Structures are given as C-alpha cells and as structure tokens.
Amino acid sequence: MVEPGTALIFGIVLAPLYVMIIGWLFGEPRDHKLTALGLAYMVGIATALWGGLFVLSMLIWLVFPW
C-alpha cells in the first residue's frame, strides 16, 4: 500500500521533473551528451542531498539516542 504522502511527492510534486526528463529524451533536437550531463547532475545533486540528510540524521541520533 502506498501512503498518501508518498503518492503526493512522487506523483504530483515531481511531475514537472518527469516532464523535463521526457522532453530531454524524446524532444527535438536531440543531444544525448547534454541529456546525459543534465541527468548526471540531477542524480548527483539528489544523492548529495539524501546522503547529507542521512549523515546529519545519524549524527543527531548519536547525540540524542533513544
């Protein structure tokens, strides 16, 4: 079962991102090198954000253990 917040984030909030990626991949003129570079930047930024949040949450957990 998908929680409502998950459906909201991945279905509605990220819809412009999905449209942008589809436009990069299937739009004209096609420049696959630029598309790959843009996708790599987006994945890198997302990974840095998620990784940073994970490290920060682990530090908070160490300082304030249950």
pTM: 0.63
Query: pLDDT tens-digit profile of 11-64?
Result: 888 888 889 888 888 888 888 888 889 889 989 999 999 999 999 999 999 999
Q: What does the pLDDT read at residue 6?
A: 85
For the purposes of burial, counting CB atoms within 10 Å of the CB of 21, is it exposed (0-12), middle (13-18) or buried (19 or more)? middle
Q: What does the pLDDT read at residue 64?
A: 94
Query: pLDDT tens-digit profile of 5-20?
Result: 888 888 888 888 889 8
